[in-house]
Amino acid sequence: MAQEMFDVIGPEKVLEVYNAKVGMRGFVVIDNTALGPGKGGIRMTPTVTKEEIFRLARTMTFKNALADLPFGGAKSGIIANDRDLSKKEKKEIVKAFSKALKVVVPSQYVAAPDMNMAQEEMEWFAKANGSKKSCTGKPKKMGGLPHELGSTGYGLAEATEVALKFKGMKVKGATFAIEGFGNVGTFAAKFLTEKGAKLVAVSDSQGCLSVMGGIDVEELIKIKKETRSVVNYPGNINTCPSIIAAKVDVLITAAIPDFIKSSDVGKVRAKIIVEGSNIPMSEETEEMLHNRGILIVPDFVANAGGVISSYVEYIGGSEKKMFVMVKEKIKKNTLHVLKTAKKNKTYPRSAALKIAEDRIMKKCNVCKK
């Protein structure tokens, strides 16, 4: 995409906020509100930067546009190490952050959980702001649709099914590997195996597990919960040095950004890569893999299940409505992107960005000036 496009759509606002009394320091980047209030999570880490948050906010701009949701893109960060905080200290910081953002929340920014922020923190945020519309990912008792329902992983499974069929392959019997067995990877594995696909390799921060005969996903979930690593899965296990080289039909990334480097391009043996994690590789690396004949479903296409779920919560919808909408939108948008890329003889990310750009520019009066 042309640099001019990146320059004109935003960011619209970058706010830094402080509260010395409770030790709160944070910021929000509202990238673009042409389609609606900026939507994006709150990330709490000791190293979070405005530049990092801007990149994520821009991804949210495209993700919401491609999902055809009435949201713009935004993201926020709180500079803190939650491991060094008591629950009371963390609560005070989140509350102070929420109150400081009242000037833009929820009119221009709607928050959500991200790193080290979950449904309890969203309850604190909403109550401090005084509006349930201030954030999504709230507890069920507040009308929330928490991420524990697996909306992102569910969407990944649907995107994977579309990609397999686009390549002329059947879902039943297809082999897949997952990088990262957290919330996203766990649910992607669960829903894909329910469709008849076979998980044969999986990795986490402790190592990589490979069982070519197939992994029992329910047993793996249990082992991961009890021992905190997939490598403790019982039986005759062949460990894999790198999941990047797994010989599978589909490789799903679900954890680490910049996971696949340009130097890894020759190692990839999967026919399809579905990006469940954000920015798992550079655009240049994607193009190189595309030129090798590997089909890639970009992150903001494949992992939009979470933000679609957020929208359903935002309008007061049910769990049932959420799963229906995630399925419909992910399938429709994934197929649209893949068909457009094929028609225009380009790679999927380029096609997806152009679709998102057109939707934003159509509504963005500031961008047109």
- In order, the DSSP letters of 141-180 are GGT---GGG-HHHHHHHHHHHHHHHHTT--STT-EEEEE-
307 CA to centre of own chain: 8
Average pLDDT along the chain = 93
Label residue 10 by pLDDT band (50, 70, 90): confident
| Contact indicator for 289, 296 with CB cutoff of 8 Å | yes
Query: Confidence band (pLDDT; 50, 70, 90) for 278?
Result: confident
Span 3-61+71-139: which CATH code? 3.40.50.10860
Span 120-142, average pLDDT = 96
pLDDT tens for each residue of 205-241? 888 999 989 999 999 999 999 999 999 998 656 667 7
Which pLDDT does position 1 carry in this prediction?
42
Per-residue pLDDT tens digits for 60-102? 999 999 999 999 999 999 999 999 999 999 999 999 999 999 9
Computed over its alpha carbons, how large is the radius of gyration of the chain?
20
Alpha carbon distance 18, 6 (integer Å): 29
Domain ranges of the chain: 3-61+71-139, 151-358
- The closest alpha carbon to 163, from 179, 177, 174, 178, belongs to 174
Mean pLDDT of all residues in 313-323: 95
For residue 272 the two structure tokens come to 């399809």
Tell me the C-alpha to C-alpha distance, in Å, between residue 312 and each of 70, 73, 136, 305: 11, 17, 9, 11
Q: How far is it, in rounded angstroms, from Cα 46 to Cα 80? A: 4
118 closest CA partner among 96, 144, 97: 144
* pLDDT reading at 169 higher than 90: yes
Residue-wise pLDDT for 20-40, tens only, equals 999 999 999 999 999 999 999
How far CA 203 is from CA of 239, 243, 244, 259, in Å, comes to: 10, 7, 10, 12
Paired sense of beta strands 238-239 and 207-210, if any: antiparallel
Q: Given CATH 3.40.640.10, say whether it is the number of domain 151-358.
A: no
Q: Report, as residue numbers or ranges, the catalytic residues.
A: 75
Please check the confidence at residue 195 and state whether its pLDDT lies above 80: yes
